[in-house]
Amino acid sequence: MFGNPSNMPGSVFDELWRLQQEVDELFGSWSSPLGIRSVPRGSFPAVNVGQTPERVDVYLFAPGIDPKSLDISIQQNLLTISGRRVLGTAEDAEYYRQERFAGEFRRAISLPEDVDPERVQAKYVDGIVQIGIQRRESMRPRQIEIH
């Protein structure tokens, strides 16, 4: 479910994506991203996107960031999240290596065509921002009874 480049279960894209994951596990993720809005491993903040027939859920892993400082917007099926991460560092310390990201960031996530931008909820719990976007009722599959 997470990271699948296609909405078609059982498609050729599923197999290609699975093969990509296996190659990445063997050799590391040095290959190019899967799409124009995909980002390489190590991008900040890390994001998971999942979907059900009723909604799309985006999980943004943002520990140490004040949720009030985040700018979250949705326009034409594009979810944009931006903000700034500030790290406290000792002025007299000499760092040999710093791997934690600090500074401004921006992530853009393409959403399916059937999401309803008027029905979005966001909450922040334990360093994780969960954004839930409902799908339009009119776009959901509906069972039709025969009378």
* Architecture field, domain 42-88+98-139: Sandwich (2.60)
Among residues 109, 136, 145, 75, the alpha carbon closest in space to that of 3 is found at 109
Strand ordering across the sheet containing 128-135: 46-51, 55-61, 128-135, 115-125
pLDDT digits (tens, 9 = 90+) for 37-96: 555 555 788 899 999 989 999 999 988 888 888 999 999 889 999 998 887 777 888 877
Residue 36: pLDDT band by 50, 70, 90 thresholds?
Answer: very low
Please state the separation of Cα 57 from the chain's center in Å. 9
pLDDT digits (tens, 9 = 90+) for 116-142: 999 999 999 999 999 999 998 876 667
How far is residue 76 from each of residues 30, 57, 103, measured CA to CA in Å? 31, 17, 27
Residue 9: pLDDT band by 50, 70, 90 thresholds?
Answer: low
In angstroms, rounded to a whole number, what is the distance separating the alpha carbons of residues 18 and 147?
44
Specify the pTM.
0.63
Q: Delimit the domains of the chain by residue range.
A: 1-39, 42-88+98-139
